[in-house]
Amino acid sequence: MSQRYIRALTAAGALPWMIPLVGDEPETMRGIYEALDGVFLPGGADIDPVNYGEERHARCDNSDLARDEVELMLVRWALVDQKPVLGVCRGLQLVNLAAGGTLYQDLSEQMPGAIKHDYFPFGGRYARDYLAHDVAVAERTKLAEIFGAGTLKVNSMHHQGVRKLGAELVASAVAPDGLVEGIESANGSYVVAVQWHPEVLVENDERTRKLFASFIEAAGDFRDQRAPLQNGEQMLAATR
């Protein structure tokens, strides 16, 4: 996994914990999850279509079922507990699947009218911070609070994307071809995910830094809100 994710998070005040892929040990995973104040989902390999009940398309690339299992587990718990979640690229797709949505396995072949989204940096053809296309940020959303509503130029390094939006999610940013590029929770909890890669834009864009800062602020608020409950549980345990 790119160190850029870690650097962007630590610069915003986070103490990142790397999560092991031990989904077959649910008690271990739950213990790790309980110690977290928020869940960050980075980019990476294609998500296996078995997770949304489809046969693998010929252009679906390598996937990692163990990672899929762990990340879906964490996000589903976080959605129930309203624990803050921030997702990037693959992370947006995971949030959508955790909420019951589906994906295009390959935009160029499965989405009518799709623009180019796969500006991969392989062989140095495109820089990771190349701003490939616009997205329209919807008004009255958390993304609008961070970036402002209207047009935003973003980088683009993906070939999969949201097909059916998950339950209790709203689209907060949309590409010119209609592809959902930003999602968030409809219930007001901090669940924010973007299809682009903000971790490579933080050095030169104050608004992108604000995205990571907003996540860390939400995680801190979550920690502070649950602290009295945890202290109460400890006191109750001590008096038994």
Per-residue pLDDT of the chain (240 residues), as tens digits, is: 689 999 999 999 999 999 999 999 999 999 999 999 999 999 999 999 999 999 999 999 899 999 999 999 999 999 999 999 999 999 999 999 999 999 999 999 999 999 999 999 988 889 999 999 999 999 999 999 999 999 999 999 999 999 999 999 999 999 999 999 999 999 999 999 999 999 999 999 999 999 999 999 999 999 999 876 665 555 555 555
| Number of domain units in the chain | 1
Provide the token pair at 93. Answer: 């797709």
What pTM was computed for the model? 0.93
Q: State the residue range of the domain holding 82.
A: 3-239
Q: What is the pLDDT of residue 236?
A: 57
φ and ψ of 194, to 5 deg: -130, 150
Q: What is the pLDDT of residue 4?
A: 94
Q: What is the pLDDT of residue 124?
A: 85
Q: Which residue has the tokens 């870690």?
A: 6
Measure CA 45 to chain center. 14
Q: What is the pLDDT of residue 233?
A: 57
Q: What is the pLDDT of residue 235?
A: 54
For residues 88 and 41, the answer to whether their CB atoms sit within 8 Å is yes
Among the listed residues 71, 89, 117, 159, the single catalytic one is: 89
Compute CA distances 150 → 68, 118, 133, 147, 153, whole Å. Answer: 33, 23, 13, 9, 10
d(CA 148, CA 206) in angstroms, rounded, equals 12
Q: What is the pLDDT of residue 2?
A: 80
The C-alpha torsion from 83 through 185 and 49 to 42, rounded to 10°, is -60
Question: Is 60 designated active site?
Answer: no
Shortest CA distance to 2 belongs to which of 43, 48, 39, 62? 43
d(CA 143, CA 172) in angstroms, rounded, equals 7
CATH of the domain at 149: 3.40.50.880
Question: Is 197 designated active site?
Answer: yes
Q: What is the pLDDT of residue 240?
A: 53
Q: What is the pLDDT of residue 122?
A: 87
d(CA 13, CA 32) in angstroms, rounded, equals 20
Question: Is 159 designated active site?
Answer: no
In DSSP notation, 78-99 reads HHHHT--EEEETHHHHHHHHHT
Among the listed residues 71, 181, 184, 199, the single catalytic one is: 199
